[in-house]
Amino acid sequence: MTPSDKIAAALARGQRFLLLTHQDPDADGVGSVLALGRSLCDAGKETTLLFQAPLGPPLCFLKGAERAVTQLDDRKIFDAAVILDCAEKNRLGRAADYLYKELPLINIDHHETNDHFGTLNLVDPKSSSTAELVFGVIRAADLPMGPEAAENLFAAIQGDTGSFRYGNTTAKTFRVAAELVDLGALPWDISRRIRDNHSMARLRLLGLALETVCLRLQGRVAVMTLTREMMEEAGAHETDTEEFVDYPRFIRGVEMGVLIRETGQNTTKVSIRSNNWVNAARLAARFGGGGHARAAGFTCRGAAGTALTLFLKEARRFLDGTRD
Ligand SMILES: [Mn+2]
């Protein structure tokens, strides 16, 4: 039995499921949770969709997002927890507090750095997205897939592939996407509601951020910086920075686009995107982070300047010394 078949059997057998994704979730995490939640629900099962924090725009515009909760009755018992798009258990944040000892964990993910923390694990780094794997599981379990589930899976795949532009987009990704359109997903409507639906604050922040873009390490690395002051000045939210890192990455000749963003008093998040050969996940792992070959990140102590110095030192070694 393949991992997908085993998970499908567990989903078909169980009745009560807890669905979760990583903290600060993206479209893949949220869309996968909502889609699988909808399918299980339509099959007559009881589902609880738990997020660490309330969903903000644009992900709260996904259909079914209003079913999400941020707290549980402690005594609530489940047949299994399905954890989606989450490389390690501690990426669940506070939501992990609700996982009690005997609860079986079903881990479905596509992060290369996934540590197989589940009782059942379906981890495929070749998959464009967790949603593409969830599509296969829903089919294998013979669960219903209506327009709402299809739309959420489509939005998730669109998110992780940068609208089918990134290197993780395969022929299979398009086949799955086409099936989702057959099932009722409307690509233009999802794009308009989820991807091309920005606040004025985001645009103001982008203006400030573009001013900071500079080339480093002989033009191989382009860096964008966001300080806490800039976030405040623009009145922007964390989710407004989604895909900002593509601007430095899209500069001709650049191998690595980097976004340095202050997230707290003394913490900075570094997002890395590579174009051709740098394994961003391995570089991020040197700082205790992780992700995918072309998209990864880590968090470190200190303000933006400190983080950049630390990062460039290691990035130089990486660019000069390794080719994996
Ligand atoms: Mn993902």
Angle CA 122–32–136, to nearest 5: 50
Residue 89 pLDDT more than 80? yes
Distance, CA 110 to ligand 1 centroid (Å)? 6
Please give the mean pLDDT across all residues of the chain.
Answer: 95
Distance, CA 2 to ligand 1 centroid (Å)? 21
Distance, CA 233 to ligand 1 centroid (Å)? 31
Distance, CA 130 to ligand 1 centroid (Å)? 5
Distance, CA 112 to ligand 1 centroid (Å)? 11
Per-residue pLDDT band at 83 (split at 50, 70, 90) = very high
Q: Model confidence over 274-311: pLDDT tens digits?
A: 999 999 999 999 999 988 899 999 999 999 999 999 99
The closest alpha carbon to 254, from 207, 299, 319, belongs to 319
Distance, CA 116 to ligand 1 centroid (Å)? 15
Distance, CA 218 to ligand 1 centroid (Å)? 31
Distance, CA 280 to ligand 1 centroid (Å)? 15
Euclidean distance between CA atoms 83 and 128, whole angstroms: 17
Residue 103 to residues 60, 71, 122, Cα–Cα distance (Å) = 28, 17, 17
Residue 323 pLDDT more than 80? no
The architecture in CATH of the region 200-321 reads Roll (3.10)
- The domain segmentation of the chain, as residue ranges, is 3-195, 200-321
Residue 216 pLDDT more than 50? yes
Q: For residue 219, what pLDDT is reported? A: 96
pTM, to two decimals: 0.90
Euclidean distance between CA atoms 264 and 232, whole angstroms: 12
Q: Model confidence over 67-81: pLDDT tens digits?
A: 999 999 878 899 999
In this predicted structure, which of 199-208, 219-228, 235-244 has the lowest mean pLDDT?
235-244
Q: φ, ψ for residue 179 (rounded to 5)?
A: -65, -40
CATH class of 3-195: alpha beta
- The residue behind tokens 């391995």 is 282
